[in-house]
A and B are shown apart, each in its own frame.
Chain A
Amino acid sequence: MDAILDFTQTLIQISATIAVITVAASVIVLLYRAILGPTNPDRAVALDIIGINLMALAGLIAILLVTTRFNDVVLLIGILLFIGTVALAKFLEKGVIIERDLD
């Protein structure tokens, strides 16, 4: 029984480490688009997906550190990402984020 437990623990650690490396590589590729993107919407979408990768990294690091304290952080990053992307999209489309009157 102990052997199976040890094997599972190493398996989880190895797969989580591989996933962290993969997500980090995708963040580097997205940074290329965020820095060199020809237009501003390119940069906005790249920053949005970097944030989603950040959520994945927080979850994977919670697995590696064997803690549940990061679960709130994942939800928090998602909410802030949504609000930030909506604000950026409104600015790119209309030039103002909070309008005086819409109706």
Chain B
Amino acid sequence: MTRTNDIILRTTTTLIAFILLGFSIYLFFAGHNAPGGGFIGGLMTSAAIILMYMAYGIQAMEKILPINFRQIIPVGLIIAAATGIGGMIFNAPFLTQTFAYFQLPILGKTELATALLFDLGVYLAVVGVTMTIILTIANDRG
């Protein structure tokens, strides 16, 4: 079979993958006061990575993005568990959440909650699980 030339797919992928990653980060940070959160943010990130895999193939992507996605799952789980244990250090029950107001340089007065760190753990676990499932199926040589 002759080799096809998917230049349109590759050019649109370079543009759309950036929009997808930005949208996923927006969804991740909007989860506190609007629809969104770690789960849908992680799914959008893996959608962007899958789009790049579809356009460029596995070998090129392993060179560009040398991440073993199986190792991201325990990292996310450890972050989520650590935020729960962190509450116990201050004599509060497991998984106690707290928040405070900080004066950040660009954003001004911002509310930072420890629920964001728990969400980060969910995000990493979702990205790891989704990419592991899809790449394991895609690598199956027929």
* Number of chain A residues whose Cβ lies closer than 8 Å to a Cβ of chain B: 21
Can you name the residue of chain B whose Cβ is closest to the Cβ of A97? B54
| B interface, over-half SS | helix
B58 touching A100, Cβ below 8 Å? yes
A90 touching B20, Cβ below 8 Å? no
* Number of chain B residues whose Cβ lies closer than 8 Å to a Cβ of chain A: 25
A70 to chain B, nearest CB (A): 9
B58 touching A101, Cβ below 8 Å? yes
B58 touching A98, Cβ below 8 Å? yes
Complex Cα distance, B34 from A99, in Å, reads: 38
What are 18 A-to-B residue pairs whose CB atoms are below 8 Å?
A72-B34, A72-B36, A73-B35, A76-B40, A79-B16, A79-B20, A80-B47, A83-B54, A87-B54, A90-B54, A97-B54, A98-B134, A98-B138, A101-B57, A101-B58, A101-B60, A102-B56, A103-B59
Can you name the residue of chain A whose Cβ is closest to the Cβ of B10? A102
